Amino acid sequence: MIFLDYNYDSLLERAFSQLPKLSEEVSDFKIPNADSIVQGNKTIIRNFSQIADVARRDIKEFARYISKEFAAPINIEEGRLIISKRVNNEEINEKIKKYFNTYVICKECHKPDTRFDSIERGFVTIVCEACGARYTIKYY
């Protein structure tokens, strides 16, 4: 009986030690991927508003970035972004990643809790609500 209990406890201990630590999971912020399709000469990002929400950026401002990066006119329709150009999913994800790494993820603490404070003369001041960092970088 005692022998069985001992085994059970050590098994339980081993099971717990193999679980990932909670703190690591929380800080592991994932840049969202685009759900896109090409229709004729246009590309539609179907989850664009969700991506803007994760970035906590204004959808129009975020769309402007995508438009500049692809050098193509864009339209927002019911939370979807329509790019007047054929681009593949991989290319879009590269741009989204670049946006998050430059304009969303804090360069000091690497958390995504930032906001645009002011935009002036081609520069944007970013404020981090997690660590208080404040820095100015080139705006798109």
Q: Give the residues lining the site for Zn ion (CB under 5 A).
A: 106, 108-109, 128, 130-131, 133
**Cα 114 from Cα 107, distance rounded (Å):** 10
DSSP, residue by residue, the chain: -HHHHHHHHHHHHHHHHTSPPHHHHHH---PPPP-EEEETTEEEETTHHHHHHHHT--HHHHHHHHHHHHTS-EEEETTEEEESS---HHHHHHHHHHHIIIIIS-TTT--S-EEEEEEETTEEEEEETTT--EEEEE--
Smallest separation (angstroms) from Zn ion to the CB of 109? 3
Identify which of residues 36 and 114 has a Cβ nearer to Zn ion in the complex.
114
Identify which of residues 38 and 109 has a Cβ nearer to Zn ion in the complex.
109
Smallest separation (angstroms) from Zn ion to the CB of 130? 5
Smallest separation (angstroms) from Zn ion to the CB of 126? 9
Identify which of residues 52 and 128 has a Cβ nearer to Zn ion in the complex.
128
Smallest separation (angstroms) from Zn ion to the CB of 42? 37
Identify which of residues 70 and 116 has a Cβ nearer to Zn ion in the complex.
116
